[in-house]
Structure 1
């Protein structure tokens, strides 16, 4: 039986130290602390969480700092916790002090999950309102166009010749997968 700690922040620029300190307070070994820097809105796009869920077994415990770090909508939260309960894994959310092994704990989880989703929806609404105002004032231009890295042509040619793989180009040029494929598509449209 092991205790794991799941840490998530929404972007690579955000800091995980506050959540890591909580994991240390529970004396959880580093190899049982799972850190993910990705938006929480889509469970399918969270490989660290999915890997963690697959490794947990009966009698294990999963601790998170808060529900909003684990799931951003009620449906995903309930689904994840039901999966954990079906496996016999104990789920603990520190901020909300939730114990999902009791009916009251599951009820509270549902309430807090709904509040977390409401908070996310409010943030999204405020963001959209801000963008609309900025557009009206001519201050919002949308995303900046993707710029090609300095050595893009060289690596693109090598990739097409088969001397290097796309994944290696992504690593060398420090590109995200989505950015890499957008660049490939734009490059091929220009030719």
Structure 2
């Protein structure tokens, strides 16, 4: 059975291009995650790894859609290999059924990780230049009309931090950072 795996970096990104490619390749089942490659919480990837059986082939559009660093890539391939599942990456033309394919997989994984590091480095350099020129504003601030009211209730002890975060629809890091700013 041919199994497809798709990952896009955000929930807003479209999966159609990858779905069309996988369907053209005769994939029987597709698992889709909408999360950053840096994020290790990819429920559909976990589900796919449980779903695959001996003799199956996992097909992805690109290694960068499957794993973003070499260690993660090699760990995932090891899990597939243990189950005697093949792996094909269309973009890089990698097929793990051959020694050359396994070697190329390791090389492409390292290159993908290097490219990601270069992108982050260029991004940091660009931000530093923009800051020097006074053009960098950062993210748009999260503004919630009830924030001050909810924080006051929380500080008075009439609401837990978890309840406050849930009411404001904020993650803990955002909540506590905003609380520190108003002190």
* Range class of TM-score, shorter chain: 0.7 to 0.9
Task: Select 2:93's aligned residue among 86, 90, 97.
Answer: 97
Q: Deviations over 1:126-178 (max 9, x none)?
A: 10010000110111132333222679979xx8xx789xx96xx58xx8x5xxx
Q: Deviations over 1:43-63 (max 9, x none)?
A: x22222122112222122110
Cross-structure match for 1:5: 4
Number of residue pairs aligned between Structure 1 and Structure 2: 173
Find the residue that maps to 2:32 and give its secondary structure.
Answer: strand
Q: Does 1:136 align with 2:135?
A: no
Cα RMSD, aligned residues only: 2.8
Task: Select 1:35's aligned residue among 32, 36, 55.
Answer: 32
Distance in 2 (CA, whole Å) between partners of 1:125 and 1:18 is 28
Deviant stretches of 4+, over 6 Å: 149-154, 186-191
Contact 2:2 2:26 survives alignment (8 Å):
no
Deviation at 1:117, TM superposition (A): 1.1
Distance in 2 (CA, whole Å) between partners of 1:63 and 1:139 is 43
Structure 1: gaps of 5 or more residues: none
Cross-structure match for 2:56: 60
Distance in 1 (CA, whole Å) between partners of 2:107 and 2:93 is 13
Compared CA separation, residues 152 and 46, structure 1 to 2 (3 A): farther
Contact 2:95 2:102 survives alignment (8 Å):
yes
Find the residue that maps to 1:82 and give its secondary structure.
Answer: helix
